[in-house]
Amino acid sequence: MTAALHLPDRQDWTVDDLASLPEEARYELVGGELIPLDPTALHQLIVIRAVEALRGGCPEDLLAVPGIPLAVDRHNEPRPDAVLIRLDHVDRSPVPVGGRWTCPR
């Protein structure tokens, strides 16, 4: 078990600050605020099932993946439970956000 990580309580964190956190610290950055990520086993099971369901109907140029950070801007790097990314971004983290696609009906 690791000791609890104590960080300053502030609302102005940036993506540059994330690099200074210990590797074992799992956070997402939303509106300059660090949000700790500490999912339960049940949560992770649901995420796995969601990713499997997305993969079944995913367009060929997209890949469904769990827990990948998204590069939005300096104060936002969310880490959604499941996300669709372009195949040319499989080797990137965080994944850049942008472009559009339409879900086939």
In a domain, 43, yes or no: yes
In a domain, 7, yes or no: no
19-37 pLDDT, tens digit per residue, is 888 877 788 999 999 888 8
Residue 56 region by backbone torsions, left for phi larger than 0, else alpha for psi between -120 and 50, else beta? alpha
In a domain, 10, yes or no: no
In a domain, 87, yes or no: yes
Is residue 4 scored above 80 in pLDDT?
no
Q: In the chain, how many domains are there? A: 1
pLDDT of residue 25: 76
pLDDT of residue 2: 47
44-88 pLDDT, tens digit per residue, is 999 999 999 999 888 888 999 998 999 999 999 999 999 999 999
Count of beta carbons in the 10 Å neighbourhood of residue 78: 17
In a domain, 41, yes or no: yes
Range of the domain at 35: 15-96
Residue 38 region by backbone torsions, left for phi larger than 0, else alpha for psi between -120 and 50, else beta? beta
Q: What is the CATH number of the domain that holds 74?
A: 3.90.1570.10
Distance of alpha carbon 28 from the chain centroid: 7
In a domain, 56, yes or no: yes
Residue 51, SS3 per DSSP:
helix
In a domain, 36, yes or no: yes
In a domain, 6, yes or no: no
